[in-house]
Structure 1
């Protein structure tokens, strides 16, 4: 009967990976814990869907007015930028706890095809921005018939 496992003195590359993963987890957990009194940066969440002739982007922008953000389309890039400002009141309220995030933001999404910038449409309702990005005609799929002899 063996009481102690046979310990081989062999280098295992997976040990290095597991150690690195452990170090990264500790580092990120430490940086994700918000320091008291410091608001987190606002980073809008987006969802992108592809249709045959266009892309549909939905971005969550809670609490923003349409004047607080801008949309720019150039080539294959869509840039959404703006600022979510901290609401300041004249009263001397001190926040006990807050999970809200504030500040300037810029998100750039790259698409696999050119976008027709002059035909982009956008609407903003109930904190959700919806952008329709038509694909350029040259990038749309075409069906080609092949003549069989």
Structure 2
């Protein structure tokens, strides 16, 4: 156990790592007792997170449906394109500007440009893709071609 106890550099006693851990635990516990405002420095830097809208993709016998959550955006701010079997949804959500006499204390919502790309199956009819934007949700309908739909074949005999 000699390896755990050594003299401190000033030679003023014995160094006890367990005592230091206990002191650190007490200091951390005292932080949780303070109101949260005191933990945040007034000069706290506002960093914007990279934004990547969430997407759901579903399929039925008629086709595929891609839904993206785009809260706070307008239809004109979103671009949907299809090239070489890749569906791309892109746009930009702009940061609200500070008004005179008003300052931001916290910015947690993400802003900025985004681009999501999805490889679409070969059975999609590209010229019939339809996109609708309603209540902050973009829905892109990707219809399947006739050859992709299940077909029952009668067995003759």
Q: Which residue of 1 aligns with 2:82?
A: 73
Rg comparison, structure with higher value: 2
Q: 1:146 to 1:77 in 2, by over 3 A?
A: farther
Is 2:100 the counterpart of 1:91?
yes
Q: 17, 27, 52: which one pairs with 1:43? A: 52
Alignment correspondent of 1:57:
66
Q: Are the equivalent residues in 2 in contact too, given 1:68–1:83 (CA < 8 A)? A: yes
Structure 2: runs of 5 or more not aligned = 1-43
1:105 maps to which residue? 114
State the TM-score, normalized to the length of structure 1: 0.67
For normalisation by structure 2, the TM-score amounts to 0.64
Aligned to 2:24: none
Unaligned runs of at least 5 residues, structure 1: 1-34
Q: Is the 8 A contact 2:98 2:104 kept in 1?
A: no
Deviations 1:57-86 (A, max 9, x none): 111001111111111123532110111111
Aligned residues, how many? 114
Cα deviations by residue, 1:33-57 (Å, 9 ceiling, x for unpaired): xx83111122110111101121111
CA RMSD of aligned residues (A): 2.1
Local SS of the residue matching 2:76? helix
- Kept in 2, the 8 Å contact 1:113–1:139? The answer is no
Q: 1:120 aligns with which of 118, 129, 148?
A: 129
